[in-house]
Amino acid sequence: MEKPLTQHIVPGRAPLSLKEYEKVGGYQSVRKILKEMAPADVQNLVKASDLRGRGGAGFNTGLKWSFVPMGPEAAKPKYLVANADEMEPGTFKDRVLLEGNPHQLIEGMIVAAYAIDASVSYIFMRWAYKVAAREIIKALDEAYAAGYLGENILGSGFSLDMHLHTGVGRYMCGEETALLNALEGKRANPRAKPPFPQVSGLFGKPTIVNNVETLCCLPHIINNGAEWFKGLSKTGDAGTKLYGISGRVKTPGCWELPMGTTIRELIEEHGGGMQDGYLFKGLLPGGASTDFLVEEHLDLPMDYTAIQAAGSRMGTGTMIILDDQTCPVGFVHNLQHFFAQESCGFCTPCREGLPWVEKILLAIDKGEGKPEHLLTLDFHTKYLGPGNTFCALAPGAMEPLQSALKYFREDFERHIHEHHCPWSKAKVWQPSI
């Protein structure tokens, strides 16, 4: 089984130095594009590979690039940004790539920057990834010294600067337009679209923001071709995927596997099955802002298409398991506390609605819920849903809530009728601030 993105990552061992990385074929894709391919060729190849954004939205990467104005008339400088803000609760896949093989990311970023003719690039990384920051700074120095970054790369005439920017903590920074505001030294509020960042992004110039895992796929697509990339998958969605599992399984972790590996295989073979004494109750397939899936979905392939057809989203592909001994109301309450806290406060439904949802869930969890509370929660899932808020934060927050109300409604009702949490008292989620 091919694992292109993680083949050179050994947990507990330092990442490959530039010399070692070159020895295993590193930076070959940069040599290839600079010598043999025009930016349009790179765009077309990536479009043909069906690579879809690994940050969660799943948009075709080559197509996203194609909206960037090209040619001598296009505004300059153009920017490429790697979104390494990984703050989606339950998500830890980009950390593996950042800490494990920083040169692969830099190589992927050079490919992407060349494809859109960008001359400045940023890695926007969350503050918490200290090891990754150290490794990336080291790798950037090596790449500059070897002439893969800077002026006139490998004598091609193409120039690219690359900077690491570490954030100061806010979930909103993962939203691409909010990320651009953060990079500009502003509050990370989302921007109105249009104009899209491809046309008017960082400092008002054409900008592409791609996820770390997406960028890490690029060198391999350049080296091996679109058909090879599609052939890595078990289903119609191309490539491999970094899947992860957290929660009460025996061996939680992160694994690169063919796209379309089933949920059951992920949990049972890679996650080692449920821990003794715990039964599976449900899961969020790709982070906190995805809809619950349950037992009936276990044989679905984890890809964009199948998970969407089941009413959820693959999101980041890192799943969080809900076990039978964890209260589903407490679980959702924890999520809504996070979303309420991280709302930027810019638009009213999100700023006011999410704390309301959180308060109701706390009341239900404490046994103070009323039957009409469920209707208020239902109301919120509708009015904080897509189209009613400025960005995707609140609609994302409503995904686990609406699906919990669908699959675990009886558990909500039991809290209300029995006036206490049927799970152990210690499991009542009580944020202390």
Partner 1 sequence: MLTTEEKHKIDHEISLVPSPKNACIEALKIVQQSHGWVSDESLKDVADYVGMSPAELDSVATFYNLIFRRPVGRHVILVCDSISCWVMGYESIRDRLYEKLNIKYGQTTEDGRFTILPNCCLGTCDRAPALMIDNDLYRDLTVDQLDEILEKYT
Q: Applying CB under 8 A, which residues contact partner 1?
A: 86-92, 94-95, 126-131, 163, 167-171, 182, 184-188, 203, 244-248, 252-254, 288, 318, 320-323, 326, 330-331, 334-335, 337-338, 341-342, 344, 426, 429, 431-433
Contact assessment for residue 110 and residue 153, using Cβ atoms and an 8 Å cutoff: yes
**Is the CB of 237 or the CB of 411 nearer to partner 1?**
411
Nearest to partner 1 of 288, 394 (CB atom): 288
- Under 8 Å between Cβ of 150 and 29: no
- Sequence letter at residue 424: S
**Considering beta carbons, is residue 78 or 170 the nearer one to partner 1?**
170
Distance of alpha carbon 213 from alpha carbon 344, whole angstroms? 26
Quick one: 226 or 288, whose CB is closer to partner 1?
288
Three-state SS annotation for 206-229:
CEEEEEHHHHHHHHHHHHHCHHHH
CB of 339 to partner 1, least distance (A): 10
Please report, for the chain, how many H helices and E strands are present, in that order.
17, 8
Q: What is the DSSP string of 324-352?
A: TTS-HHHHHHHHHHHHHHH--S-SHHHHH
Residue matched to tokens 């009936």: 296
Q: DSSP label at 15?
A: P
Q: Which is nearer to partner 1, 58 or 287 (CB)?
A: 287
Closest approach, Cβ 420 to partner 1, in A, equals 18
Distance CA 366, CA 11 (A): 42
Return the number of the residue (104 or 334) whose C-beta is nearest partner 1: 334
**Between residues 169 and 371, which has the closer beta carbon with respect to partner 1?**
169
Q: How far is the CB of 159 from partner 1 (least distance, A)?
A: 16
Read off φ and ψ for residue 157, nearest 5 degrees: 90, -15
Sign (positive/negative) of CA torsion 15, 103, 245, 366? Answer: positive
Local structure of 188: helix, strand or coil: coil
CB of 426 to partner 1, least distance (A): 7
d(CA 433, CA 429): 12
Contact 327, 418 (CB under 8 A): no
- Least distance between partner 1 and beta carbon 172 (Å): 9
Task: State how far the Cα of 351 lies from the Cα of 315, in Å rounded to an integer.
Answer: 23
Taking the complex as a whole, the smallest distance from the CB of residue 105 to partner 1 amounts, in Å, to 16
92 vs 383 by CB, closer to partner 1: 92
CB of 412 to partner 1, least distance (A): 18
Closest distance between partner 1 and the C-beta of residue 368, in Å? 20
Q: Which of 321, 191, 187 is nearest to 247 (CA)?
A: 321
Residue 302 Cβ vs partner 1, minimum distance, rounded to whole Å: 16
Between 27 and 171, whose beta carbon lies closer to partner 1? 171
Q: Which two tokens stand for residue 233?
A: 């998958």
What is the rounded CA–CA span in Å between residue 415 and residue 427? 13
Contact between 43 and 91 under an 8 Å Cβ cutoff? The reply is no
